[in-house]
Amino acid sequence: MSPPEVRAAVSNGIPPPVLDLPYPDGAEVITSNILKLIELAPNPRVKFIFQNLVTKLHEFVNETRVTPEEWMTAIEFLTRTGQTCTPLRQEFILLSDVLGVSALVDALNNPPVGAATESSVLGPFFTEDAPDVPLGESIASEGKGEYLYVEGQVRTTSGAPIPGAVIETWETDDKGFYDTQYADRVVADCRGRLVTDKDGKYGYRAIVPVPYPIPGDGPVGDLLLALRRHNIRPNHLHMMIDAPGFRKLTTALYPEGDAYLPSDPVFGVKKSLVVKLVEINDEAEARKRGFSKGTKFKLLTFDFTLLNDAEAAAGRAERAK
């Protein structure tokens, strides 16, 4: 048997820096040297980000006196996180979510502006293969859960309708699973892509969302157990709305009454996104809405208000102050 081929490491072509760097004989010299090296970065934003990242990371190590064993545990945890990722499972996004980083980045970059609809976290279960769904049709195949009809209007901050806005929407089934969590997934289900009409209105059939556990069989699940935190997301319906000239809105709607709303493990719930479901017990109305069985369904009515690009930029500038 021939020995395995080894790929040789090669130089990246960058010469040694012309810097007066002392040998790193002490902890403080290590931090000083790397900050001097980061000064060589040609991109100002890259330089700024890594100066802050290294400074805070080294401060953390110094303040907590991390041991070699603890640091190796952290490296092994991150290694497992990467190894858990697949084309349909993003464990790193999940890690960012449960640490509140995803929500923090979203909050800083999408500050609330006037009456515009607030954003929420994307989550790790968005896919690009949602089917196109005509208005009034269903994103869920029959038998996936309790009937829900979702309708409303997409409009500007001045109240004008936004026709042609593309809405991506996705949710779990009534067992609390996204379609990507099923090993035998062939086509997308409980997700769809639709377009608002000339009056900016939308409507589609779905199912009533249910609370569900975020994946607990990987390193993020282990982390939550170590921190004594639950892994149950409150029931919600994801929505992503995009229209030319407007800031893309990534958000979710959270039906009221869920016990997990205040302690959502990914910090996605905002008060303005908590909605009321109205029960409609009328067989004729159910058939009119396209539901094939039963006499009742839940109705969710919600109007989305989008910021145009200039309003969004002004909001970010004001937040930066």
Q: pLDDT by residue (tens digit) across 45-58?
A: 999 999 999 999 99
Pairing of strands 249-255, 237-242: antiparallel
**Are 187 and 42 found together in one domain?**
no
**Are 59 and 193 found together in one domain?**
no
CATH number at residue 163: 2.60.130.10
What's the pTM?
0.87
Pairing of strands 304-306, 147-156: parallel
Does residue 43 belong to any structural domain of this protein?
Answer: yes
Does residue 9 belong to any structural domain of this protein?
Answer: no
Q: Which residue has the higher pLDDT, 320 or 86?
A: 86
**Are 295 and 164 found together in one domain?**
yes
Mean of pLDDT values over 260-278: 97
Q: Which residue has the higher pLDDT, 1 or 41?
A: 41
**Are 141 and 231 found together in one domain?**
yes
Domain region containing 52: 27-65
Does residue 1 belong to any structural domain of this protein?
Answer: no
Q: 319 pLDDT band (50/70/90 cuts)?
A: confident
**Are 31 and 96 found together in one domain?**
no
**Are 159 and 210 found together in one domain?**
yes
Residue 105 host element (H or E): helix 101-109
Number of Cβ within 10 Å of residue 315's Cβ equals 19
Does residue 10 belong to any structural domain of this protein?
Answer: no
| Mean pLDDT, rounded, of the chain | 95
**Are 144 and 51 found together in one domain?**
no
Q: Which residue has the tokens 């000083």?
A: 32
Total domains in the fold of the chain: 2
Q: 274 pLDDT band (50/70/90 cuts)?
A: very high
**Are 43 and 178 found together in one domain?**
no
Which one-letter DSSP state was computed for residue 175? Answer: T
Task: Give the alpha-carbon dihedral of 9, 15, 17, 22, to 10 degrees.
Answer: 50
Mean of pLDDT values over 82-104: 93
Task: Please check the confidence at residue 1 and state whether its pLDDT lies above 80.
Answer: no
Measured between alpha carbons, how far apart are the two ends of the chain, in Å?
A: 66
**Are 146 and 97 found together in one domain?**
yes
**Are 55 and 153 found together in one domain?**
no
Mean of pLDDT values over 233-251: 97
| pLDDT for position 84 | 96
Does residue 4 belong to any structural domain of this protein?
Answer: no
Q: Strand pairing partners for 169? A: 192, 239
Does residue 78 belong to any structural domain of this protein?
Answer: no
**Are 57 and 184 found together in one domain?**
no
**Are 50 and 135 found together in one domain?**
no
Using DSSP's 3-state secondary structure scheme, residue 276 falls into coil
Measured CA to CA in angstroms, residue 6 lies from 1, 2, 3, 222 at distances of: 15, 12, 9, 35
Mean of pLDDT values over 282-301: 95
Does residue 3 belong to any structural domain of this protein?
Answer: no
Does residue 80 belong to any structural domain of this protein?
Answer: no
